[in-house]
Amino acid sequence: MKDWLKTVYSETSSSKLNKHYKNWANLYDTDMSSWGYAYPLQLNKILTNKLKLKKTIKILDAGCGTGYVAEVLSKLNYKNITGIDFSEEMLTIARSKKIYKKLMCQSLNEKIELRSKQFGLIICTGVLTSGHVGPSALHELVRILKPQGFFICSIAESVYKKNGFEKEIKNLKNLVSIKSISKAFVALPNNKNSAKSRMYILEKLN
């Protein structure tokens, strides 16, 4: 069986990466489940124990893929969810789950085609990492977040400093405060190629 995880996280070409996700889309959820994907559980903990948000809050799932992580939002009765991903094939599967009010096909490495200050919560898991979305996307995501809105993201330990995520978060100190940083955990415990990650909760200032 092809290890798509190793394939996508070692890819440096965005066009080839899109092709990989096209070919992986139909098996993605099955693979994530068998590898013990930790982000849904981590998100559930945050939304159940750390952040008490209204169920009507407007949410952006940035890099939503097949909607695998957003299934947690649906189970917690959040309904007002927009998803963005650069893979049409992954979005086709996300659409079939009927979790989202709106889905957009766009790269997060470009200016996001959404107006500023409209989301009360943005989640971005498994996306801010090598070969995928770089630290420059953080500023764009914060731009479309409401004041006092929350940004929940995962960043792999291996790229946090090396790829400039730590520096970019420091650069955003006048726009956001760090509410919480989780302990490091293995994102896919049943896959030997999985990296350790942390969950970051940022809150947008006025």
DSSP 61-99: EET-TTSTTHHHHHHTT---EEEEES-HHHHHHHHHTT-
Buried b (16+ CB within 10 A) or exposed e, 34-45: ebebbbbebbee
List the CATH number of the domain containing 67.
3.40.50.150
CA 17/CA 166 separation, integer angstroms:
25
One-letter amino acid at 14 equals: S
Whether the pLDDT of residue 135 is over 80: the answer is: yes
Range of the domain at 58: 4-204
Query: Is the CB of residue 157 less than 8 Å from the CB of residue 197?
Result: yes
- Report the relative pairing of strands 102-105 and 176-181 from DSSP bridges: unpaired
CA 124/CA 38 separation, integer angstroms:
14
pLDDT reported for residue 40: 95
pLDDT band of 10, cuts 50, 70, 90 = low
Quick one: CA dihedral 92, 93, 94, 98, positive or negative?
A: positive
Whether the pLDDT of residue 23 is over 60: the answer is: yes
**Lookup: tokens for 73:** 């939002």
Rounded mean pLDDT, 105-109: 92
pLDDT reported for residue 11: 55
**Lookup: tokens for 86:** 């650069």
Cβ atoms within 10 Å, residue 155: 25
pLDDT reported for residue 1: 46
pLDDT reported for residue 18: 73
Q: How many domains are there within the chain?
A: 1
- pLDDT tens sequence across 49-102: 999 899 999 999 999 999 999 999 999 999 999 999 989 999 999 999 999 999
CA 96/CA 68 separation, integer angstroms:
12
pLDDT reported for residue 13: 66
